[in-house]
Amino acid sequence: MPEETWKCTIEVISSETEVKQVEFEFIDYDAIVKKSLLLKPNYFSELVQKANAYENYHLSGGLVKIINPDGEDFSSHNFYAILGAEKNNLLFGILIGEVDENHYKMVGFHPKELLLQAKNDTKILKSLPVLLLENIDMWQHVSIIGPSVKQN
């Protein structure tokens, strides 16, 4: 099965004077599951509430470029990368895109290793958004990374 990936460029502050761009890949959800996963309408609002209420949840800008599996630039669309490091330092993530005002769908997932498990059980992929939202104690750190704010 060929992997279809979304490629994201995220700006991260590596020191007081240096900002680096990190490339991050998400496996295309629709290509694997063959069905879109629309998230509940208030999903993103609830994530923002978590970032305001819990020390291990953080909201930031920094998503500077998004390329879809066909190579098209989707940077002007409203996307968020949600990355979670769980207590054993395993990194999981989802890429969500706004399909309508305050309505999002899961576009991609990370890491690739989930693909092997998901071939037989797509419930694993469907559970990622729920785990990131509801299992606060499971996560050492959750970053909600939105579009980069351009300075003039």
Domain definitions of the chain by residue range:
5-147
pLDDT tens, 81-97? 999 898 888 888 899 99
pLDDT tens, 21-42? 889 899 998 888 888 888 988 8
Please tell me the least confidently modeled range out of 24-38, 51-65, 86-100, 111-125: 111-125
**Separation between Cα atoms, residue 132 and residue 93, nearest integer Å:** 9
Give me the residues paired with residue 108 across strands. Answer: 28, 95
Q: Is 21 left (phi over 0), alpha (psi -120 to 50) or beta?
A: beta
pTM above 0.75, yes or no: yes
**Is the separation of the CB atoms in 73 and 66 below 8 Å?**
yes
Mean pLDDT of 72-89: 91
